[in-house]
Amino acid sequence: MSKNTEIRLSGEGGQGLILAGVILASAALLEGKNAAQSQYYGPESRGGISKSEVVISDGEIIYPEVADPDLVLVLSDVASIPYTKDVRRDDTLVIFDSGTVKKFPDLKHGRIYKLPFTMTAHDKLGKPFIANIIALGTIVGLIGVVSKESIEKAVLARVPKGTEELNKTALLEGFELAKTIKK
C-alpha cells in the first residue's frame, strides 16, 4: 500500500481554506494521482471554525479524511487547539500564521513553525485574503507533494479572471517563505 500524504488546512470561515484544499487536490489529479478533499464549516459563512482536508496518494484512498496528519496549517486561533490535537508524530509539520494566531497549543509532537502568511499578504500584496494561496505555495515548497508547476496550473484554473498575476505572485511569496525554514 502506498503512503498517503495527509494535509489539514484550518482556520475560520472566509479565509479561503476550502478553495485552497480544492486547488491542492486538483493539482494532484493533474499529476495522475488520487486525491480526496473534505471540509468542515459551521452555519455562519464567516468567522466560525473551519477546516479543509486533503489526502493525496498514488494508490487508493480508503479513508477520505486526515487520519494521521503529515502537515497541519493553522490560520486562526479558533482552530489552533482543536485541529492540532491529533498530531502524534514528531515529523508532522505544524505551521501557524505568526500574525493571526495568538493562542498556541502545548504540543508533545510535531515540528512547529510560525510563518507570516497574512502579514505577507497584507504588506507585500495589499490583499490580506490571499494568505491562503501564499500558504499553499509554502506547503508545496516544504513537502513537494505536487510540483510547483502543477500547483500554479491548478491555482490559475480556479481563481477569478483578472487575478492571475496576483495569485502567481502569492504562490512565489509562499515558495520563498518555505525557504526560510531549515529542515
Asked if residues 176 and 156 have their Cβ atoms less than 8 Å apart, the reply is: no
Residue 120 or 150: which CB sits closer to another protein? 150
Residues between 46 and 75 with contacts to another protein, criterion CB under 8 A: 61-65, 67
| Least gap, CB of 63 to another protein (angstroms) | 4
Q: Is 77 in the site for another protein (CB under 8 A)?
A: no
Q: Is 115 in the site for another protein (CB under 8 A)?
A: no
Q: 49 - beta bridge partners? A: 12
Residues between 18 and 37 with contacts to another protein, criterion CB under 8 A: 22, 25-26, 29, 32, 34-37
| Least gap, CB of 43 to another protein (angstroms) | 5
| Least gap, CB of 126 to another protein (angstroms) | 31
Element (H, E) at 52: strand 49-57
Asked if residues 137 and 129 have their Cβ atoms less than 8 Å apart, the reply is: no
| Least gap, CB of 59 to another protein (angstroms) | 12
